[in-house]
Structure 1
Amino acid sequence: MKQTAFLLAVACLAGACGNDRDYDATGIFEANTVTVSAETAGKILRLNLDEGDSLTMGQSVGIVDTTQLALRRKQLQSRQRAAEQTSPDIAAQAAALRAQIAHQQEECARIGRLLADGAATGKQADDARARLNVLRGQLDALLSTLGKNRSSISENASALQYEREEVEEQLRKSRITAPLTGTVLLKYAEAGEYATPGRPLFKMADLDNVYFRCYFTASQLAHLRLGQEVTVIADFGGDEQYEYPGRVTWIAQESEFTPKAIQTRDSRANLVYAVKVAVKNDGRLKLGQYGEVRL
């Protein structure tokens, strides 16, 4: 289709050179189109749009069945809560040992006083200190075990949380929305059909801001620059033409060869450069419509 449009534009350009009409280049009106595709798999429950409808950015227009995703989300929520509930209370489980250590410390201090008074033996003091060291070792081992258990449970809960976020993202992608403010050009699917990731659902474009793709010869490039204001003439057939202000937004860096059927006196005219001119659409301009541009 683009090649056909190109041939038409170049043919018109060549004809213009022969007829010496009041324009510098010819071309067609185009727009940046966006094809909206399904991002998840499932039955299309709703797709409320028709060709020609006007949509606003972010507008909800449909949804893909999310039953399985919703059930999986609930399952992950339950597993995550169960994992978090099994996390050990380190302070509570270590409380008994800490109490024994505190008691043994008092016992060591008491035996130490008795030893100073000659009422206890050195062996009793050594045994008390050994008992205190054992209790401290048991506390360290308990804290290490509980800490590892908590870390393992925490990692498991975090993995479940990541899975939940992934499901939430898939649920979000199941909602079909308009990516921009514009008009629906083509509709490719209907409610009740099965969608797969990447399947086109509809195509839309911003028809309020179109651009005119035209072609200039190499000798004309010296008169062109980005941001330049030009006049675009839309041809509606017969003698009906309308002029629109336009602005050059893009100039091709490389030339293109014109088709062999196009004859030019200057061999250099066999090379043309594509140019885009931004035009504000008043509602009359249609995509693929022929036009002319005057510098």
Structure 2
Amino acid sequence: MKKLRSILIVLVVAAVAAGAGYFWWQQHQSDLPEGFARVNGRLEATRIDVALKFGGRVAEIWVSEGQRVEAGAVIARIDATDLEAQVRAAEAATRQAEQELAQAEALVIQRAGELDLARAELNRTQSLAARGYVSAEVLDQRRSQRITANAALNTARAQVSAAQAAIEASEADVVALKANLADYTLHAPRAGRVQYRLAEPGEVLAAGGKVVSLLDLTDVYMDVYLPTDDAGRLRYGSEARLVLDAASQYVIPATVDFVASEAQFTPKYVETESEREKLMFRVKLQIPAEILHRYQEVVKTGVPGVATVRVDPEAPWPETLAVRLP
């Protein structure tokens, strides 16, 4: 019974807190003109995890947390001693195959000369046999020599083809190994700021192991949650304004980039109209890239603020929410 009473108390407290929060949200909207919705949020940025394609030991890391890096900058290097040895072996196999090709081509020339000689001897023997100067046995021998020389030439030509194929295969191995070797040096896939350094030199990581986490400061947004009535009237591209707690004197423009297709925090399916009105949908407010690029040295994620979204495209923006930037 005591356990049951505790559970009931927790449920009641949670319900009261939810009701109080919803009431606060409604009161918070009251100072807005018709056609706008206001809600709290926090700045976020697209995160990119730079990870290993192949497992290995981290040899060097050249960035630190908070450092800004350009796209293509070298972030870390993985020890590739074994792979470098494989590259040298494949290059040696290529040189060996090239030597074998040269030998096979020389052998083709030799076999071609032997075939020409066998043909000439056969022609002379046939001429002599026709006049009775050579026996049939000798004529058969010359014919056999011609056939053997022709077969030897075909074998030599096949060796040339095999050597060429061996060269192509070893060259392909070199290309593949060098491509893999390039992946042992980790580069920043795009410009950003290092959020976390997840590994240190000397650590052995499996394939897919994360080394550094980057934040793309040209892709910063605020996720907010709006009720059914407001979310249902939103259009993609609708305007919004962001006011951050840390810089409340500025008003940052944004646009609606995404509206969730399913409600958050509540049951997926509800039956009554009153319950449907309380459903909250996630909305992504994207800050324009040109503004982010201009102020990328001061852009930070995790900063809380207030977002005002225009749900009625015909509603004029209040003067207090006119865009103001540093």
Alignment match, 2:25: 16
Distance 1:159 1:15 in 2: 71
Query: How many matched pairs?
Result: 272
Alignment match, 2:256: 248
Alignment match, 2:78: 64
Deviations 1:119-167 (A, max 9, x none): x13x849667645543442233213322343344444444333332332
Deviation at 1:24, TM superposition (A): 0.9
Aligned partner (choices 244, 260, 268) of residue 276 of structure 2: 268
Distance 1:195 1:34 in 2: 18
Distance 1:227 1:13 in 2: 27
Distance 1:155 1:293 in 2: 67
Deviations 1:16-69 (A, max 9, x none): 213324361422221110111122333322211111111111111221122222
Secondary structure at the aligned position of 2:54 is classed as coil
Aligned partner (choices 233, 242, 245) of residue 232 of structure 1: 242
Secondary structure at the aligned position of 1:32 is classed as strand
Give identity over the alignment, percent.
21
Letter of the 2:109 counterpart: A
Between 10-19 and 214-223, the greater mean CA deviation after superposition: 10-19
Alignment match, 2:108: 91
Deviations 1:201-232 (A, max 9, x none): 11011123301111222212343111222222
Distance 1:214 1:206 in 2: 20
Deviations 1:60-94 (A, max 9, x none): 12211222222221122112212331231243231
Distance 1:267 1:244 in 2: 33
Letter of the 1:215 counterpart: Y
Letter of the 2:237 counterpart: G
Q: Please say if 1:207 is aligned against 2:217.
A: yes
Alignment match, 2:308: 293
- Does the CA contact (< 8 Å) of 2:122 and 2:143 recur in 1? no
Alignment match, 1:187: 197
TM-score normalised by structure 1 residue count: 0.79
Deviations 1:244-264 (A, max 9, x none): 1111111212222349xxxxx
Secondary structure at the aligned position of 1:140 is classed as helix
Deviation at 1:99, TM superposition (A): 2.7
Moved over 6 A (4+): 10-13, 125-129
Deviation at 1:14, TM superposition (A): 5.6
Distance 2:306 2:93 in 1: 64
Deviations 1:240-287 (A, max 9, x none): 35311111111212222349xxxxx93222212211111144325533
Alignment match, 2:13: none
Cα root mean square deviation, aligned: 3.0
- Does the CA contact (< 8 Å) of 2:126 and 2:139 recur in 1? no
Letter of the 2:276 counterpart: R
Is the alpha carbon distance of 1:144 and 1:221 closer, same or farther for their aligned partners in structure 2, counting shifts above 3 Å?
Answer: same
Alignment match, 2:96: 82
Alignment match, 1:262: none
TM-score normalised by structure 2 residue count: 0.72
| Structure with higher RCO (Cα < 8 A, 6+ apart) | 1
Alignment match, 2:120: 103
Alignment match, 1:48: 62
